[in-house]
Structure 1
Amino acid sequence: MSLYDLARDGDAEGLREMLLESDSPAVRKRACELLGEIADTDDADTVESLVSVAVTDDVEAVRAAAVDGLDQIGTEAVEQLLSEITGQKIEEGADWAVAKRFAKALNSDIPELRMAAASALGKLGDESAVSSLTNALSDNNSKVRVRVCLALGMIGHASAVPALIDRLSDPSGRVREEAAVALSTIGTDQALAALTDMMDSNNDSIRRVAANALGEAGTADVVEPLANALTDPNTAVRSAAVYSILELLSNVPTQKSHQIRDRIVAELQDADEATVQPIVEILEESSQKRQRRNAAWFLGRIVEDPDRKTIEVLVEALESDDMQTSQFAATSLAEIGGEKVETELIDLVKSDAAADARAQGVFVLGKIGGERSSDVVSNLTDDDSKQVRKRAFSAVSKLKGRQ
């Protein structure tokens, strides 16, 4: 049985056997990852197996995967690793006391333990650990520095900003990326200013890192630099800016969403093809509902003369399983209007597509349609679908009112 099959069946025992008996580092590494996904803190056998591998395996990547697995299972599992390596039992206590023990482990000679300690400190979220973590940003192991950046981002304390800014020039690209994301998450003026300055770099990779990170900021202050990046000469930077704009809307607190939406629409008004294409691709290909919803909404606000591909993707989105994506697509099609949209929607409502999608199409035709739509929609008042019939009667009334 494959690792995938074992994980799908929740067979932790089978995965443990593969982990402890396989001669293949790749198999052991993947087994660690899957055990982290399916196990919980009550699964003592799995925790014990991962602790053993984290300490004894002769391959660094496998040891690191075991630490990751313990980290996914929870803080208690990481505490067991700490206890195993230090030989000291970890007693229960307040978060600050646990944080103090993990902070001490950041000085361990064992990189995997330092990684685990950093991850655990981030999850505990205790601000007393910030000083120890910022000191650990100079660790000689880049994987440890990555974990420390992640932890500081999770804690989100402003005192970490200067040390994180220093990591923006780290020799490891991954460390630079995680430091940038942590700064964006913390979101102080100093942190965002450092990321905005990165957008002026001559290095494509640095601008891309900054564009990616700014999407985590949750403030309208980053809209302008992201909008400016949409004309960047580098394709990867432009794409990162588009994703960040949509991510910004996905993560922003509800009370700020209207402010940021208005700011973005103002910045992206009459966007060119280089801006629109990545948004169309997100709507067509993304598996994240919030991204697709925002992409569907934006296309109707920033596209004045869409190409056929944009219209087709919006029409296809009417068939989305996610009701909000479908509704936003309908709203955008109504905003765009025109003969090209009308033609695509007439084809949809006359097809054997799902009733929900056809009903949305009829709704939009009622808003934008002309004489062609009137004849088609009138015929749909006898449709087999009650939902389509209801929309058709309403659309007929609107269409007649405009004639």
Structure 2
Amino acid sequence: MSEVASVGPADEPTTRPRRVELAKQGRGRRRARPSPAEPTAVSAGNVGFVAGLLGFLEDPVAPARQDTRPEPNDATAPSAPAVAIESPSSEPPAVPPPPARPDGTDGIDAPAAVVEPVWDWAARGEDVDPRPDDPPGRQPTAPDHDLVLELTSFDPQRRRDALRRMLGERLTGATATAAAVALRDPEPDIRHLALQLFEHAPQLLPLDSLEALAFDTDAAVRLRAAALAGRIDDPDVVLHLADRLLTERDDAVLETVLASVIGVSRSVGLGETHVDGLCRAIGQVAVSHLGALRSGLQTLAASLDAGDLLHRLGSHDPDLRAGAAVLAFESGTDTALAAVARLSTDGHPTARRYANAAVAASRAPADVAPTTAPAGSSTDLPQARGETRRSERAAPGEAELTMLPGLVAALGDPDPAIRDQAGASLAGIDRDKLLAWMWTQSRHADAAELERLIDAAGRLEAAEIGEPLARAVLRVRSAGDSVTLELAARSFEPLATVASRWQGSDNPADRVRAVELWTVLASAGPAPLLDLLDDSNANVRLAAVAAVVETGSDAPTVERLLDLIERDSSLRVRQAALAALHASSPAERVTAVRIALSTPHPDLRRASLDLLGGETDDEFHLLTAALADPDGGVAQRAAAVLMERPRPETLAVLWSQLRTASGASRVLLLDVLRNLDAAALRRLGTQAASHPDPGERIVGVTALAALGDEREVSRLVDALGDPTPAVRLAALEALGSHAGVTALAPVLAALRDPEPSVRASAVRVLADFEDDAAIPHVVGALDDPAPLVRDAVVEVLGRHGSPQVAALLLGHLDRPAHQTTVAQLLARMGPAATEALLARIPDADRTQRIVLLQALRAAGITDRLTGELQAPAPDVRLRALELLALLHHTEAADSIADRLTDPDARVRALAATILGDFGDDRAIDCLRAAFGSDPDMEVVAAVERAFRQLVTDE
């Protein structure tokens, strides 16, 4: 039989059917196992039985392919010695192995040559043909026709007699092929007799028939078949027997199956693949059945390699892991027990049970004998072999401490037996070492691990570890809420003691932790949190408010939150207290908003409006009142809430507020009204524009302008002739928002209005028109006698830096009344205007020059010119020097002195001249150096003149 590549225990389980894999590895001879619900025996009627064999009779050679092994008296092999049979009822004598054949084989084909029916493979859609080719010179053995007729007779007694006669004869290939027919007989005793025949030569038993008998309805037949399997020297039989461990429920048959496995493993040995399959099967056997097989399992474990079993404990296959755990446990060595104990958190229940049993066994005294407890009791767990246990109970060492994670994990096992045993084992461990280990584990435990540690601490009544566990609870909770963790924490009473101790600490950080811990221990009620709401530290109060939001609030808590909104010294605490009332009753929310709107904090007032929905009258009145808030953000938020939930009376209330609103509040009110009902706003505005009351006419003009409709421009223009200046002013401001569709003439006429405020407004509106035709009129308003109008002109023209405006302003420089204003405007207009100012300096009189220089300096022109001294173009540097000299900007003397080394001679000469004119004796050293080093005689002459000028001045 060819060797098969082994599959390591840690490999992932394949998704292909195992039989396909076995077939590809040369072991695919086994027929598909029949369903347990259908007995393998033929139906009770002999007619059906015979009909099923008609194909066999028509082609007698085909069934012989079930086994290609030659008869012992085949001509190609020496005859086997005869074996005496004492009687049909006697025990089958030992059959000597067949003599060696001339080709070196044992005269029996390898079991891999057994054929699986082709149609079984075709039905599964596999592309593998499991039937190996017949070896050269081997032909299937035809059955004995007469014997077949006897065994297929309608008369059961005749079939029995034929089998009894065969018991006294030697079983050959031909008679074995015929006898295999009786293995499918509908009568159990006939199948039993047929199995007796093969006890003389188990190597001739067809393995597909053996597998079918494993599901026989008669337990005696299954038992005899299992016993026969153990006498077939083929390791692949172990895979068949492993399957039997999964389906068999009869303890006697199970013991026989396990004994057969042991027999095969001792006679021919097992490969890794066979051990894997055996472990998987054992891992799926019920624990109650494993208890009945303990003796056999211990024997089997002793025959297997201990290192291989421990290696399989790390497999990704849970069944393989569990089976390896069973066998490793039954091996009973300390190393194996320690390894199995680490599986206490395994996902497989069998692995967990044996892991906890290993923990208990590693600490038990040696004189405790292994026992099997009744199923379902708290001791229904395996126990290790007595001879491998410790001689006496000792203090926990390293080996015992490595089992602590398993014991703690077992406290959360769904099996109560495992939980009870784990609790009892923990109670017997040295307390100091156990608590030290729990403290260390709590520092890095996740939620599930921490739950188990708290459970263990509760069982041990370990109040001294309360604070480390409390810190761990807060750490895990901050990373993500765990409901089950909080439930576990509430069951551990020492945590409440820790929270009280932290609450009384002088350290604010401890008191914050107390708040968080009281939040976890919600069963303590709101009293501790109420006390912490009065804490002197704002961070503690803030944490307590957050806890109230999480745990819920009652009437005293609401009262305390309202007090915090009104009086707390920390704005953060006030805002948090306000947010904590989002889920409170409408009346409580209204009270909170009323308090917040009375505070001087705009952010708090704005946030309070989020608590209102506008459904009740109180909420609506608070929202409308907030529209007049001096903070625009508060008013806008109130408007947004009103628009989200409009009421029938909203329009009338807001319209009435327009009379007293001003500025941004009026604009906001009009925006809300337009969004609510634009048509209604037009009607109200039209009516108000013709009202006898000037205040109503102002409201009407403003409302019509807010509509943004071109059709309303004519009404606004008509309002420019209103006898009341305030109405005319409102009309001008309204026309500013319609600059693109308003004629210029009516606004220009307003520049001659007798009211200065109206003329100033006209200047601003004309600037908004962005019409070049209006610029001369705006500039001309500089001659207005009212400072209010002239200031409006300066304000408007300062935003217009066009050359046209600059040219118009330059014309006003000759007017002494406007020189200063015009110069300042030009200086603010940027490079185009400042160049014009610089150009006017040489021709300006002394008074004009002073005004121009002051304006240019105020505009920062000197800084720009100083920077241009570093320009790469010599002409730019030269002009910058000229202008700095013109402005007499002595603050730039150092930068000018640097130009004495300029590569351009003109620049050096002008720099020397300017330094002489500035009269700053600090330039003497620079001029002296330039006099002695400059190669250009004109520069030297300029330096000499400047030097003499400074020396003379000195």
TM-score by length of 2: 0.23
Rg: which structure is higher?
A: 2
Higher relative contact order (CA 8 A, sep 6+): 1
Flag the structure with higher helix content. 1
